[in-house]
Structure 1
Amino acid sequence: MPESFVHLHVHTEYSLLDGAVRISELIAKAVKLKMPAVAMTDHGNLYGCIDFYQAAKKAGIKPIIGCELYVAPKEKELRKEVPGFKNNYHLTVLAKNETGFKNLSKIVSRAHLDGQYYKPRTDRRDLEDYREGLIVLSGCLNSEINESIRGGQIDHARSTLEWFKERWEDDFYLELHDHLNGDVAEAQRKCSVQLLEWSKEYNIKPVAANDVHFLDRSDHAAHDVMICIGTGKMVFDENRMKYSEEVYLKTPKEMHKIFRHVPQALWSTLEIADKVDIKIKLDSTSSEKYPQFEAPDGSPRADYFRRQCHAGLEVRFGEKAREPELQERLEYEMGIMEKMGFLSYFLIVWDFIKWAKDNGIPVGPGRGSAAGSLVAYALGITDCDPLRFSLIFERFLNPERISPPDIDVDFCQTRRPEVIEYVRRKYGERCVSHIITFGTLGAKSVIRDCGRVLGMSYGDTDRVAKMIPTELNIDLASAKRKNPDLKAAIESDKAVAALYETAEKLEGLTRGVGIHAAGIVIGSHDLSDFLPLTRGNADEVVTQLAMSPLTELGMLKMDLLGLKTLTVIDDAVKLIHRHTPDFRIADLPLDDKPSFELLS
């Protein structure tokens, strides 16, 4: 039988400045090594789960979505030290199926939203409440069981093991690591001796893992530099975090050699992979996760929508609203919107724009293809008459290609938060969320970061960084091709060559998270039922998935942009009202020749 193995403990670049594995390269290597499956288990988050799932499926590899959770010693809400315990313990948890994925998302969300104390922590209560569909591995050296073994607290380690065994039965495994040399490997072997005794006593299968943090052994030095970037240390500092050079994605042959004395630990990786069967429904055209707009008068949604459209047309056009051209265009658009199932979408947008205008919040006249919709104009979503300007509705909604509408709405920059707060109050605190963004190590910044932690002088590092052309999306390889001075410096100076080589390995890795300037998500109910959530620096709820995965999941996304221009215009209008109370900016002619002459 050929040697086979599945890595079940892998940290990608979404273990920020700790894991250096790119998802695409992880999947490519798993294919090359003929592995039937591979896991992703980042520290406390599920940032990359959809990208990982799609990449693995496309390559014919079974995706195992997991997370290395931080588990609080007591209740996760207890934000203080607990004598005799660490602030958190590591635990490897894998989703076995769709239910497991939803429960893992729920656990991770609750950890971020309610359990933040140095790290986003879960607790035994949540683990028990959301245990269905999950597989649990006992964890690395930082797990509660292993920490207790190392500290001589054997009774506590045993009781912890029994707690997991009682709840997960055959879906609980004892995780074994062996990094071959050094103090860490010695501690791992000490724990493994005890774990293997309990494996026999409790009939709990062992499972081998390697706590992967980088792809190949040759990546160790670059990964070490990345750790220094994340921790603010220098590579020559003695007392700092260091990883073994063994924590790379080893081949099945290498893992079999290490664990040849425990063949069951190797077989268990395949057994777990066989148990896993995750199917995540990805459909960007679906509206089933959208909140359903309820008419204030209790009437059917379609009737209410049509009444608002016709009433709005009367406001916009007066008696002309009855003209066949307008009626036919309105009926055509309403029919398409109803057929495509997006009535709630339009009513939701109409509602928060109406609320903003009713409360004196400046709203932009319209942006993008939505300006081609007569319905949008009638509802007051836009202030641009599509017939007057011969705008095409199908650029906005094409009946031949079902895709969700995309309406970007501009609000006064200073009052945008009021609109978001209104939406949150209307649909629910946990039903509305900002959208996460990911910052990466760019060409110039990675040179500066690497130079700093490698101990190069500021002047030398700055000189190299300034050789990189100031171009959008420039990368180091392109910079070397475009700038002969940079190429010459790399070829003639060993320090610059080492800097460039290290920086090139780290370039593009995810460095940190932020919040999308405009995007929010609205769900039909608690968003953590659909996807993992976190909190921003201002304590706001934020998705753990970026814009593209949210689209794939079929989530309702809205772009509510805060525009300084609207704020300036509003301030100007208020000043004008001091002398001309009846002034309305909407009355200004768009074809005023003197104005255009002034601008030219």
Structure 2
Amino acid sequence: MYWNVHSHYSFRYGTLSPAELVQAAVRLGISRLALTDINNTTGLYEFVSECRTAGIEPVAGVEFRNGNHLCYVCLARNAEGLAEIHVFLTDYLAQHRPFPTLAPVFIHVWTIYPWTIVVSGQGGLNARSGWPDYEWVGVRARDLNRIWRYRNRLPADRLVLWQPVTFLNRAGYDLHRMLRAVQHNCLLAHLPEDAVASEQDWLVDPDRLRLRFAAYPELIKRANFLLDSCAFVFDFHTPKNRQVYTTSKADDLDLLRKLAMDGLQYRYGDRRSDGRLYRSRQKDLSQRVERELATIHECAFSAYFLMTWDLIRYARSRGFFHVGRGSGANSLVAYCLGITDVDPVELNLYFERFINPHRSSPPDFDIDFSWDNRDELLEYLFKRYGNGRVCLLATVVTFQQRAAMREFGRVLGLPKAELDELVDDPHKAEYHQAGRTLLALSKRLDGMPNYLSIHAGGVLISEERLTRYTALQPMPKGFPVCQFDMYTAEDIGFAKLDVLSQRGLGHIKEAVDWIRKNRRVVVDIHAIQAFKQDAGIREQLRRHETLGCFYIESPAMRQLIQKLGCQDYPTLVAASSVIRPGVAGSGMMRSYIERHHQPDTYRPLHPKLGELLAETYGIMVYQEDVIKVAHQFAGMNPAEADLLRRAMSGKYRSRDLFKRLVDRFWESCRAQGYSETVIGEIWRQMESFAGYSFSKAHSASFAVESYQSLYLKTYYPLEFIVAVINNGGGFYSPEFYVHEARRAGAGIEAPDINRSEWRTIIDGNTIWLGWGLVKGLERSLMEALLMERDERPFDSVEDFCLRVPVNRTQLLLLVRVGGFRRLGLSKKEVLWRAHYLTGNRPASRPYTGRSLFDQDMESALAATAPELPILTEHPLEEAFDQWDLLGFPLVSPFQLLAEEGLSPTTLPCIKASAMLEYVGRRVMMRGYQVTTKEIYAKNNGRMGFGTWLDVDGEYFDTVHFPKAWTEYPMRGRGIYRLEGLVTEEWGCPALTVSTLHRLPWQPDPRTVED
């Protein structure tokens, strides 16, 4: 009877999860249920899975609405019917059209109209002489006594019982109303009546429902007939990805084997310095390739590997760089195909971590490309494998409790100040009348789906047309997205391909281009094995000179590299995972550093644990360590261990499943005879780090990209830094990348109208900053400037104004930043001319000078301009203009420092280079603030860390414990006098700050009165 049921995937309408719906149905003895969410099937497969577990027959459908207006409900009689619904839904979503009044002619679908639509005559429904046998009219219990009034308009033999379900009780109804007010962005009191479901739209007891319709048994009979005639048979286990790349699976395997063996020769062959090593190990390597190929073929992944290889091949043909990361780097076949540059043999990565018959979910490749190449690569996939078989993966954005409180507070009309107070301190809400309501409803809403968005990079390439599984809907960039997320995709047998983007690869790509252009050198950036042996890179790592390099430039990472004495690839791989919040937060990072320096002095928590984790000194560092401990230490089977790893990594939705896995872990450990103390400590470590950890292959992939960046910075630092600036930088602001270029010997020039581009460029050892760094400058002006400059350079301000349409505001920006400085006039003379040329025109009105026609502007100006006094300039004026327009001066900020104005100190004043000589002593240092980070200490007090530049331009770090952090807070960017104790850990010095004071700048000389 229940053919119109909403879950919370009827976004901002439904209130119940599929599990809650099914549990309620079980309690009422309901054996068949149809999920008909509004304009989507997002929750369908989750609903089907819950129904199968509970012994309920699921039925699939969709409720079609235009805004608040219910058009009709469609039920799929079988898989073909669901595909028909998806095709119809996809078509209208893609064209952003309202759904038609009349549903299309379906073959395998029941269509049910609300009786109110029929009697109102919409679409001519009540004028039909006969009704198709696939269309019906739904009648609600509350309307039974009105049927006779409209009996001449209603087809008596097509009427069917209709009991919509949106909530279970009054609390659910209240939540539903709040959601509708959020959707309509209005006060609850102003919510339109037609926007809200009826209070009677709850899961009524079947016996009670039969009693209500006792006078109309044929309506009950027809409702049961509709549901009984529908069947949703779906195989969750059969792979849904495209199964054949060539012409057959056998041909796919042959091609994959040929490519892998060719790649084996390339990766390990005679062109390598260790070619002899390859020949001695050729048999072992070939056997591993064959073993992997057998598993790949068995698990139907040959086409998936080949499609990924094809994407990489296309990217390389276009000059795009990539990094293959994640557990896919465990595969030697992937390494041989060039999908990843991580050598799994070197790092002892086992293939089964990526693909094995026991794995609980299909694996996927994560491929990073430069941020500005990703859209072209997605377009390639859609054109290569499209025809309705390619889509982007969705993600379900959920409500969070604090955000929900704000949303609900607004619809209740609470004043902003009052609402802020309740949100910031939920305990106060318990003593506030509206606050208690907010708190209760927001807790209920926490984690509930809010809307669909796009997954960061997931792409599905299907064997069947995707409308067999989902409707597709458009997203802003034009690529269609499915209506389910990665969890559902995995559950139903899809392995996604993650086509991701990052700016680090943009750094690398552009740096290689600049090196070829500026130095006439072609760099093979994939020569990773050579980079690993490079003495220059080893030294760069040893000196932790990594600013600008992918993933290893932050202060915390630079300190870790220094503390580890990192000089090689394996240590950097470990560091990439050790730095993650879980390991660091559990205190295991410190233990790892200690054991790294003294590997023979530690005692593992348990001897067996020491054997399993010997490579990482008995510490769980990688995601694989969870699997090792769960399987080989605790005794869980491989599938359970992998499930536990996924659940702890946040890649599994079911909290109930996670709890069962945790219980299973403890039971299994106890069965092995371990003490509660040992089990508890091991679980603490697992729990604290697993949600933030990397797989070893993922860390290795990051380390590969770090090595590529390190190579470029070591041997071509100027080109590399220019590329970093042009691709959005990284951890730091552009100022400090410019500083790095200066440290590497570059001459830095402010933007110039005859030399600079929108992006920063390099010419020999001179870097010309780009116009894009100038605050407030319009790109359209720069496009016009560059177009004119291509014809011939500008030779005066007048020439510029004649040829480029520019208003006074934009012209003054160009002058103040120094754009005309190479034309033989002082800045003040240029400023005077700029004002004179624009005259009394509004500042926003462009001036082109074309009213003078063919007159020589300079002659006209000389004839009419008054004689100027001598215009003097202070050396600091340029620096203050640069600070204002670029965000930083092109001179040392210490040159802008005024007299300290603080009481003298007896402490030695030292620089960064002398810190190790003063360990254990109190000192004074002057530092220009680079970055600070606030954290919560173990006692919940706030403390901080800082990174600074000294007067020599060298970096040093500070620690601010809660007392100093509170009593001496940062007061904005600037130079500070810092006093404290110099400490040292494993060769890494830091200043533990006791006091700090910000030092005053010199005033802008133009603002100082004589």
Which category describes the TM-score, using the shorter chain as reference length?
0.7 to 0.9
Correspondence for 2:242: 290
Indicate if the aligned counterparts of 2:127 and 2:153 stay in contact, CA closer than 8 A. Answer: no
- Structure-2 change in CA distance of 1:52 and 1:147 (3 Å): farther
- How far apart, in 2, do the equivalents of 1:394 and 1:373 lie? 9
Q: 103, 111, 135: which one pairs with 1:136? A: 111
Correspondence for 1:585: 525
Indicate if the aligned counterparts of 1:17 and 1:226 stay in contact, CA closer than 8 A. Answer: yes
- Structure-2 change in CA distance of 1:571 and 1:35 (3 Å): same
Count of equivalent residues: 530
- How far apart, in 1, do the equivalents of 2:120 and 2:483 lie? 30
Q: Percent identity, aligned pairs only?
A: 25
- How far apart, in 1, do the equivalents of 2:410 and 2:72 lie? 34
Q: 31, 35, 56: which one pairs with 2:30? A: 35
1:232 corresponds to 2:205: no
Indicate if the aligned counterparts of 1:397 and 1:403 stay in contact, CA closer than 8 A. Answer: no
Indicate if the aligned counterparts of 2:394 and 2:481 stay in contact, CA closer than 8 A. Answer: yes
- Structure-2 change in CA distance of 1:374 and 1:161 (3 Å): farther
- How far apart, in 2, do the equivalents of 1:47 and 1:400 lie? 27
CA displacement 1:151-181 (0-9 Å, x = unmatched): xx9xx2234573xx33xx2x43321024x4x
- Structure-2 change in CA distance of 1:351 and 1:506 (3 Å): same
Indicate if the aligned counterparts of 1:174 and 1:195 stay in contact, CA closer than 8 A. Answer: no
- How far apart, in 2, do the equivalents of 1:560 and 1:25 lie? 35
Q: 84, 92, 97: which one pairs with 2:78? A: 97
The CA deviation at 1:198 is 3.8
1:281 corresponds to 2:281: no
Indicate if the aligned counterparts of 2:119 and 2:126 stay in contact, CA closer than 8 A. Answer: no
The CA deviation at 1:456 is 0.8
1:361-380 matches, cutoff 5 A? 361-364=320-323, 366-380=324-338
The CA deviation at 1:140 is 5.6
Correspondence for 1:476: none
1:498-513 matches, cutoff 5 A? 498-513=437-452
1:332 corresponds to 2:291: yes
Correspondence for 1:158: 126
1:172 corresponds to 2:145: no
CA displacement 1:549-591 (0-9 Å, x = unmatched): 2222223410111112111222233333322513333346235
Instruction: Look up the SS of the partner of 1:541 in the other structure.
Output: coil
- How far apart, in 2, do the equivalents of 1:160 and 1:515 lie? 43
1:137-536 matches, cutoff 5 A? 137-139=112-114, 141=116, 143=117, 145-148=118-121, 156-160=124-128, 162=130, 165-166=131-132, 169=133, 171-178=134-141, 180=142, 190=146, 193-194=149-150, 198-200=154-156, 203-204=157-158, 206-237=159-190, 241-283=195-237, 286-287=238-239, 289-294=241-246, 300-319=251-270, 320=275, 323-364=282-323, 366-398=324-356, 404-467=362-425, 486-487=426-427, 489-536=428-475
Instruction: Look up the SS of the partner of 2:391 in the other structure.
Output: strand
- How far apart, in 1, do the equivalents of 2:42 and 2:148 lie? 31
- How far apart, in 2, do the equivalents of 1:439 and 1:325 lie? 47
1:107 corresponds to 2:59: no
Indicate if the aligned counterparts of 1:113 and 1:534 stay in contact, CA closer than 8 A. Answer: yes
CA displacement 1:300-336 (0-9 Å, x = unmatched): 3332222222222222223346532222222222233
Q: 488, 506, 517: which one pairs with 1:567? A: 506
Indicate if the aligned counterparts of 2:33 and 2:59 stay in contact, CA closer than 8 A. Answer: yes
- How far apart, in 1, do the equivalents of 2:514 and 2:493 lie? 44
CA displacement 1:363-413 (0-9 Å, x = unmatched): 01x312222222111111111222222221222222565864421111111
Indicate if the aligned counterparts of 2:512 and 2:522 stay in contact, CA closer than 8 A. Answer: no
- Structure-2 change in CA distance of 1:494 and 1:269 (3 Å): same
Indicate if the aligned counterparts of 1:515 and 1:542 stay in contact, CA closer than 8 A. Answer: yes
Q: 537, 540, 543: which one pairs with 1:598? A: 543
| Amino acid in structure 2 at the alignment position of 1:394 | E
Answer 1 or 2: higher relative contact order, Cα 8 Å, separation at least 6: 1
Instruction: Look up the SS of the partner of 1:593 in the other structure.
Output: helix
Greater shift, 62-71 or 221-230, is seen at 62-71
The CA deviation at 1:123 is 7.6
The CA deviation at 1:18 is 1.9
Greater shift, 242-251 or 406-415, is seen at 242-251
Indicate if the aligned counterparts of 2:362 and 2:494 stay in contact, CA closer than 8 A. Answer: no
- How far apart, in 1, do the equivalents of 2:30 and 2:512 lie? 66
| Amino acid in structure 2 at the alignment position of 1:559 | D
- How far apart, in 2, do the equivalents of 1:26 and 1:214 lie? 9
The CA deviation at 1:529 is 3.0
Correspondence for 2:915: none
- Structure-2 change in CA distance of 1:495 and 1:403 (3 Å): closer
CA displacement 1:170-196 (0-9 Å, x = unmatched): x43321024x4xxxx6xx865674358
CA displacement 1:130-162 (0-9 Å, x = unmatched): x23322222363x4x24317xxx9xx2234573
| Amino acid in structure 1 at the alignment position of 2:344 | P
Indicate if the aligned counterparts of 1:290 and 1:555 stay in contact, CA closer than 8 A. Answer: no
Instruction: Look up the SS of the partner of 1:436 in the other structure.
Output: strand
Indicate if the aligned counterparts of 1:437 and 1:514 stay in contact, CA closer than 8 A. Answer: yes
- Structure-2 change in CA distance of 1:387 and 1:504 (3 Å): closer
Instruction: Look up the SS of the partner of 1:562 in the other structure.
Output: strand
1:26 corresponds to 2:1: no
Indicate if the aligned counterparts of 2:330 and 2:353 stay in contact, CA closer than 8 A. Answer: yes
Instruction: Look up the SS of the partner of 1:136 in the other structure.
Output: strand
CA displacement 1:200-243 (0-9 Å, x = unmatched): 4xx33x22213322221332222211111000110122756344
- How far apart, in 1, do the equivalents of 2:178 and 2:361 lie? 44
- Structure-2 change in CA distance of 1:238 and 1:343 (3 Å): closer
- Structure-2 change in CA distance of 1:294 and 1:407 (3 Å): same
| Amino acid in structure 2 at the alignment position of 1:139 | P
Greater shift, 394-403 or 519-528, is seen at 394-403
CA displacement 1:432-476 (0-9 Å, x = unmatched): 100111112211110000000001111111112112xxxxxxxxx
Segments of 5+ residues of structure 2 without an aligned counterpart are: 545-561, 563-1010
Indicate if the aligned counterparts of 2:119 and 2:153 stay in contact, CA closer than 8 A. Answer: no
Segments of 5+ residues of structure 1 without an aligned counterpart are: 1-5, 72-85, 468-485
The CA deviation at 1:289 is 4.1
- How far apart, in 2, do the equivalents of 1:38 and 1:519 lie? 32
- How far apart, in 1, do the equivalents of 2:68 and 2:32 lie? 33
Indicate if the aligned counterparts of 1:373 and 1:396 stay in contact, CA closer than 8 A. Answer: yes
Indicate if the aligned counterparts of 1:136 and 1:172 stay in contact, CA closer than 8 A. Answer: yes
Indicate if the aligned counterparts of 2:363 and 2:495 stay in contact, CA closer than 8 A. Answer: no
Q: 26, 39, 51: which one pairs with 1:44? A: 39
Indicate if the aligned counterparts of 1:176 and 1:192 stay in contact, CA closer than 8 A. Answer: no
| Amino acid in structure 2 at the alignment position of 1:436 | A
Tell which structure's C-alpha radius of gyration is larger: 2
- Structure-2 change in CA distance of 1:502 and 1:385 (3 Å): closer
